[in-house]
Each structure stands twice: as C-alpha cells, then as structure tokens.
Amino acid sequence: MASSLKLVVIGGIAAGMKTACKTARLQPHANITVLEKDEIISYSGCGLPYFVSGVVHDREELFSTPTGVPRTPAFFEAVKNVKVRNRTEAVAINRANKTVEYRNLVDASTGSVPYDKLMLATGARPIVPPIPGVDLANVFTVKQVEDAERIQKALEGSETKKAVIIGGGLIGMEMAETLADCAFDVTVVEMLPRILPMLDAEMALLVEKHLDEQGIAVRTGVAVTALEGEGGRVAAAVCGNERLEADLVILAVGVRPNAELAANAGLEIGRLGGIQVDERMRTSDPDIFAAGDCVECNHLLTGKPCYSPLGSTANKQGRVAAMNICGEDDTLSGVLGSAVVKVCDFAVGCTGLTEKQAKQAGYDPISSLCPMPDRTHYYPGAKGVLLKLVADRSSGRVLGVQAVGPGEIAKRIDSAVAALTMGMTVEQLSKLDLCYAPPYASAMDNLITAANVLRNKMEGRMVGIASSEVKQKLDATEDFFLLDVRSPGEVQAAAISGAVNIPLGKLRAALDEVPADKPVVCFCQLSLRGYEAATILKAAGHEHVTVMDGGVAMWPYETVRSG
C-alpha cells in the first residue's frame, strides 16, 4: 500500500466535512485533519431560523445524525477516522512547503500541519452593510448556532416586540416568518424594487401580497440608511422618510465568500469574489481543492460564473472534491440556481433563469403563468400553485420555472430540474409522463398545463398580456375592453375594477356586447376560460384579442369584493 494520503481540510461545516468523510471512506488509511475556527462543526446553517422560532427545539438537533448522535469532533474521530480541531483558525497556506499554519483560538498556540492535498471549505460570512448603527446591540446576522441563541435571548428581552429585517432574500424571508411566529411586528426592507430576486417581479409581488396578508410589512426600493440606538441598543431603523421602531434588527443582505486565505496564497479568485475552481473542484493549484460557499459555480444555462451558497451544492461539491483528491475522476458541471424557501403559508421555489435573467443572458424569453391546484381540485386539501414557466422563443428550450403558493411547490420545481439540465424543450416538457392520482396531482399536472399554455403562445394560438400591462392600461384609462368571463359569484368575491362581466357560457349569445372596434383583454380565474373566450371572439371576427396571463388567481393588485 502506498504511503497514506495527508489531507488537510479548512472548514468543518458542510463541504469540508463531506470531503473529509468521503475521503476517509475512499482511502481508509488517509490521515485527515479538519481545521475549524468555530466551536460547533457540521451543523445545518439552513436550520437556524427554525431553531430561533422553536420549530426545532434543541440546538443539538442542528448538528446531529438522523439517529440523534451529535456530530462532535469525538464522533468524527471514532466513527469516521477524521481528526477535527475546532476553535483552530487556519492563518496561512504555505504552498511551497505544502503546510497550513494555524492558531489555536483557546490557548493562542500556533503550529503548522503538512498536506499532500488541501481542501478549502472556508465558507462565507454575512455582509454587514456600512450604515451607522450596525454595531448597536440587538443587530444580528444569522450564520452560526450562537447567532441564533443570541437572537433568541433578544426576542425574550424585547420590549417593543418590533423587528426590522434588512434584506428580502431567502434568509430575510425565513427570519420574517420566524419573528412573526414569535409574535413580533415585522417589517422587511429591501433596497431593490422587489423582494426575492430569484423571482420575476410579478411573482415576487404575489409573495409580497402574501406577507402583507400575514401582517408582515414590506418596504421595497428603499434602503435603511441608519440604525438609531437607545442606551447602546438598537431602537429604530431609518428607511427613506420613515423611522421604523424596532429593538431587534436582522441583517440579511447576503453573504460574501471567505476567499482571503486563498487569495493570500496566490490562488485565482473569480470576478464574483469566490475562489475559482474547475468542474473537479480544483483551484489554480492542482493540490488545492475548494468547495462550498467560498467558491464560484458555473451556471448550466448561461455558462457563466454564479454564486450559489447553498448546502445542497456544498455537499455535491464536497463529494466531487473527495473523489478527485483520491484520484477518481468526478465532475460537477454546474448549477441551475434551484432554491426553495418557506414564507409563512407559502412555499416559494425556482430553478433556472427568471425571464429577466434570461434576457440578460441573451435569450429571447417567452413565458406562461399557470395557477392551478396541486392535486385534483375535488380532492380534500388541494392547495394552489402559482407557476411561471420561462422558455427561449426560438429554440423552445425550457429556461426556468418559478412557483409560489400554499401548494406543493418544491415538487414542481424538482420535476423540472432534470428537464432544464438536459435542455428539454417546452414541447418535450408537455409530454412528460408525470405520475397521477387524485391525492397527489391532476391528470394534467401543473407543469404540463403550463407547458401547454406556453405552447399555445409560442405556436401563435394565444396572445398573452401581462397583468402589469393591464394595470397600466387601466391606470392610464386607455380605451380597451376588459372582459371578465367568470361566473357572477366569482366576480362578487374578487373583481378587477374596470372589467365587464360576461360569463363564458353566455358569451356566444352575447357577442354584440363586446365592442368590435376595441382591443379586448379576456380573463377568468385561472386562465382556461379566458383563452376559450379569446378563441370565441377571434372566431367571431375580433382581431385584437389578448388573454391576461394568470387570471385573477395571479393578479397581484387590488381586487374589489361586492355583494
């Protein structure tokens, strides 16, 4: 047997521990050392919001195996044959000597450890925006188990029970739900025009509407310019002309890769600030690998670097790194940016490109909106899925799926992931043999229907119009005919001001009520009847007929209830 491999891993959370343990299985005689500057290793950072709210009761659950064994250094030594030195910071990499210098954070002792192969899994750190007052007490980022515990204490000690969350991304959403669950008045402030940049604007608006319905306030297109304190503790956030009272502020404006150690060692850093790696997770030094939140990824649809700091990606990358460290050939060609997040009673998910991102990437995107229940509508418990499908107009290639709503969102996202990975067209997607039974799906699944609607648009059978455009026309009192073909009962429950109601079943007999000389926009609740109406009107000679994408179910603006 060859002399045993010496692997040093810097970082003991997701990618680092995956690489260490997989290497130990591939080469049981390898000498593996993990250096981690913090106390707790191998924990689920993604679980922190649920620990803050008490949904997850015990901090140990965040770093325990499925059978309840805490993943401590002793556990890794005994079970995995991996030595973990926690509270030990790697301070420099000496590539010439192939050593890592470290400092013990408990006793301040220093030392160095030699490597044959080095793995960088240094993770990321939360961005702290440079605004006055971020150093006040009760201003938190959410990264470590200790952060979560500090937030829990602050929750208990809060007097105002008011919180401001700066940043409307994934962590911002999770913390908004968490704090609302803890009976806080929560305001989310997002500098961009909409929350959740993983979604197109009209989809993000639906989530903002849901937050509003849950009593969570949202401010978009405005920045927090200062935090004000009282006795050293935060008391308010200044946000445009507003002063938002809050004795708890969460900074959730994103994370930045910890790439300094790599940069100081002369390794290539990408344009997005992450360590550059190839598809084998090799850095510019063939003996140094990197994975997880500290590296940049390749986006499968743009072919360009992207930053995807997620536990799912970190674990896959860590495995690929281990395989290559041990001389096996394994690659990860890229990511799709798939994500899902729970936002109160909604799930919000996406994969691939938004329509906006697709445009930026040089595609000519076209999209469909499809609101539908997540199973047969007659089966108890059916819940809504509001889905957007994006494709490239010329090639027909599926580019992305976004979905929000109370129904089974993650299922529809995941069902499209292999399709996107393999370059499927919308037509191919519409033929997928997805499984069907009333408790789980409709005979035509949401994805299939969305694909069929998109085919109707791409093949010229249906002309869509975005709800935002309809809203603009209404606001500008443009001369057009807005035709609501729902039943009177549906109209009473939620009407769009300015629309005229002719139920679909009566339309053929009431064609003279639709002015022949005006553009007509048809809509219904979900969109099928709107499309039927457009077909009827076109057959009757109307030339300018469009169907409002997504119907009332995905209308993100105000509706009027009557009767």
Per CB under 8 A, contacts with a second copy among 290-349 are: 300, 310-316, 319, 328, 330, 332-333, 335-342, 347, 349
Residue with tokens 């809203």: 471
| Residue among 112 and 428 whose Cβ is closer to a second copy | 428
560 part of the interface to a second copy, by CB under 8 A: no
| Residue among 246 and 504 whose Cβ is closer to a second copy | 504
Find the shortest distance in angstroms from Cβ 521 to a second copy. Answer: 18
Report how far apart, in Å, the C-alpha atoms of 10 and of each of 91, 107, 189, 298 are: 10, 19, 35, 23
Among 428, 457, 472, 447, which residue's Cα sits nearest to residue 530?
457
| Residue among 126 and 334 whose Cβ is closer to a second copy | 334
| Residue among 16 and 373 whose Cβ is closer to a second copy | 373
| Residue among 66 and 231 whose Cβ is closer to a second copy | 66
Compute the CA torsion angle 105, 106, 110, 116 (nearest 10 deg). -70
Query: Which window, 96-104, 118-126, 369-377, 554-562, contacts a second copy (CB under 8 A)?
Result: 369-377
Among residues 107, 156, 433, 512, the one that binds a second copy under rule CB under 8 A = 433
Find the shortest distance in angstroms from Cβ 372 to a second copy. Answer: 8
Measured distance between the N- and C-terminal CA atoms of the chain, rounded to whole angstroms: 84
Tell which positions 525-544 bind a second copy, by CB under 8 A. Answer: 525-526, 529, 531-532, 535-536, 538-539
| Residue among 189 and 552 whose Cβ is closer to a second copy | 552
Query: Can you read off the two tokens belonging to residue 296?
Result: 């940049």
Find the shortest distance in angstroms from Cβ 453 to a second copy. Answer: 12
Find the shortest distance in angstroms from Cβ 432 to a second copy. Answer: 5
Tell me, letter by letter, the H, E, C secondary structure of 341-409: EEECCEEEEEEECCHHHHHHCCCCEEEEEEEEECCCCCCCCCCEEEEEEEEECCCCEEEEEEEEECCCH
CA distance 193 to 217: 15
547-556 burial code (b ≥16 CB/10 A, e <16): bbbbbbbbbb
Find the shortest distance in angstroms from Cβ 452 to a second copy. Answer: 7
**Residue 294 exposed, middle or buried by CB count within 10 Å (0-12, 13-18, 19+):** buried
| Residue among 162 and 411 whose Cβ is closer to a second copy | 411
Q: Give the largest Cα separation in the chain, rounded.
A: 89
Q: What residues have CB less than 8 Å from 151, skipping those under 6 apart?
A: 52, 140, 142, 248, 250
CA distance 378 to 380: 6
Find the shortest distance in angstroms from Cβ 129 to a second copy. Answer: 24
Residue with tokens 């140094």: 288
For residue 46, indicate whether it is catalytic.
Answer: yes
Among residues 431, 478, 513, 543, the one that binds a second copy under rule CB under 8 A = 431
The pattern of x and - marking residues 443 through 472 that bind a second copy according to CB under 8 A reads: xxx--x---x------x-x-----------
141 part of the interface to a second copy, by CB under 8 A: no
**Mode of pairing for the β-strands spanning 185-190 and 288-290:** unpaired
388-397 burial code (b ≥16 CB/10 A, e <16): bbbbbbeebb
Among residues 203, 434, 521, 554, the one that binds a second copy under rule CB under 8 A = 434
Find the shortest distance in angstroms from Cβ 23 to a second copy. Answer: 11
| Residue among 263 and 443 whose Cβ is closer to a second copy | 443
Report how far apart, in Å, the C-alpha atoms of 69 and of each of 52, 56, 460 are: 21, 16, 59
Find the shortest distance in angstroms from Cβ 214 to a second copy. Answer: 16
Query: Can you read off the two tokens belonging to residue 468?
Result: 């935002």
Among 558, 364, 400, which residue's Cα sits nearest to residue 467?
558
Among residues 129, 270, 438, 498, the one that binds a second copy under rule CB under 8 A = 438
The pattern of x and - marking residues 17 through 56 that bind a second copy according to CB under 8 A reads: --------xx-xx--------------x-xx--x----xx
Using CB under 8 A as the binding criterion, the count of chain residues that bind a second copy stands at 107
Tell which positions 49-88 bind a second copy, by CB under 8 A. Answer: 50, 55-56, 61-62, 64, 66-67, 69, 75, 78-81
| Residue among 103 and 412 whose Cβ is closer to a second copy | 412
| Residue among 359 and 431 whose Cβ is closer to a second copy | 431
Tell which positions 202-221 bind a second copy, by CB under 8 A. Answer: none
Tell which positions 471-510 bind a second copy, by CB under 8 A. Answer: 486-487, 490, 504-506, 508
Q: Which of 46, 182, 294, 326 is catalytic?
A: 46
Q: Are 444 and 412 in contact (CB under 8 A)?
A: no
Q: What residues have CB less than 8 Å from 33, skipping those under 6 apart?
A: 6, 7, 8, 9, 83, 84, 85, 113
Find the shortest distance in angstroms from Cβ 456 to a second copy. Answer: 9
CA distance 300 to 312: 16
Report how far apart, in Å, the C-alpha atoms of 446 and of each of 335, 348, 525, 530, 559 are: 24, 15, 15, 17, 25
Tell which positions 370-429 bind a second copy, by CB under 8 A. Answer: 372-373, 376-380, 408-411, 413-419, 421-422, 424, 427-429
Which DSSP string corresponds to 31-77? EEEEE-SSS--S--GGGHHHHHTTSS--GGGGGB-TTS-B--HHHII
Query: Can you read off the two tokens belonging to residue 324?
Result: 């290559």
Find the shortest distance in angstroms from Cβ 125 to a second copy. Answer: 20
Report how far apart, in Å, the C-alpha atoms of 526 and of each of 370, 474, 544 are: 7, 20, 21
- Residues annotated as part of the active site: 46
